[in-house]
Amino acid sequence: MVMAVKPPMKTFEVVCVRCGETVFIKAHVSDLVDWKAGKLIQDALPYLDADEREILISKTCGDCFDKLFGENGDDWD
């Protein structure tokens, strides 16, 4: 059986809209296409951590997200 091999990951540069920090994310283009086509980001890009996924979704880096919403989501109470 021959398994399909994905092309190498590409590095994407994303700038946080709040602080201007540049974040570099490595991902497969086909996985980004799947996400943009409607697949849940955690299913399309399971190898990215929560901060990497968030900057793709909202253009907000992990530090700024934590300042806005708290590190553990405890500020929702």
Is pLDDT of 8 > 60? yes
Per-residue pLDDT at 77: 47
Determine, yes or no, domain membership for 49: yes
Entry pTM: 0.82
Determine, yes or no, domain membership for 22: yes
Domain around 65: 10-76
Determine, yes or no, domain membership for 23: yes
Determine, yes or no, domain membership for 42: yes
How many distinct structural domains can be found in the chain?
1
For residue range 21-73, what is the model confidence (pLDDT) as tens digits? 999 999 999 999 999 999 999 999 999 999 999 999 999 999 999 999 987 65
Determine, yes or no, domain membership for 3: no
Give the angle 74-69-18 at the CA atoms, nearest 5°: 165
Determine, yes or no, domain membership for 53: yes
DSSP string over the chain: -PPP-PPPPEEEEEE-TTT--EEEEEE-HHHHHHHHTT--HHHH-TTS-HHHHHHHHHS--HHHHHHHH-SSSGGG-
Determine, yes or no, domain membership for 1: no
